[in-house]
Amino acid sequence: MIEATCLERGHEIALVVDKANQNDLNSENLSRVDAAIDFSTPDSAFDNIMKCIEANTPIVSGTTGWLNRKSEIENACKANNASFFYASNFSIGVNLLFAINQKLARLMDGFDNYQCEIEETHHIHKLDAPSGTAISLADDIVKNIRRLDKWKLAENTEINRNDLQITAIREGEVTGKHTITYESNVDTISLSHEAKNRKGFALGAVMAAEFSRDKKGIYTMQDMLAI
């Protein structure tokens, strides 16, 4: 989908790397490209991104499940005067949801009678849970609602009132659905986004590569969309 979107927008594909040809991701090949896009796996993303940074090739990554090492990537990016663009979700609609989620959380901070939860549903092939998008939503909620201490994945784990519960569902070929719910004794408030297909993710990633081409530094969708 990313390749098709690149071609539709007039770009050329200089290199495609998968598990069968990992050695092709090297400085010589990377020197011939304007930007790289990484949608790989949690186990391989860090090394893929680091190779691009060391080659000074702008790298756009949407891989989730490896973010415990994100600070290492950011430090390497700064040290190499490179370009790193990361998003847990490249959908423009989801990034608008991020902004609305932050605003609503700030408003809900003063209303202790509402309990917040997040539910996310994805296809059975997704390797990480909760999704990176759900984590981004949860982090913004915890940051803005003082009565919440942390988020927890609902997996035989005791959920306290000061915890934000995330429920992760894996079924069928669901592209991605995220719902934030505030529940009280008298009403329910919810925000929801459901992707109809993967085209929106691919388009956002290609736009990020176009945005990053001549830039140095660390960027997000908020930078690109000026949210």
Strand, helix or coil for residue 83: strand
Q: Given 11, 70, 78, 126, which residue is catalytic?
A: 126
Q: Starting at the earlier edge strand, list the strands of the sheet with 83-86.
A: 36-38, 59-61, 83-86, 217-219
Q: How many residues does the chain have?
A: 227
Active site residue 150: no
Residues 223 and 204: beta-carbon distance below 8 Å: no
Active site residue 122: yes
Q: Starting at the earlier edge strand, list the strands of the sheet with 177-183.
A: 150-153, 163-170, 115-122, 177-183, 188-194
Rounded CA-CA distance 115/216 in Å is: 41
Residue 129 burial class via C-beta count within 10 angstroms: exposed 0-12, middle 13-18, buried 19 and up: middle
Query: Phi and psi for 118 in degrees, rounded to 5?
Result: -125, 135
Count CB-CB contacts under 10 A for residue 25.
21
Rounded CA-CA distance 39/61 in Å is: 6
> What residues are labeled active site?
122, 126
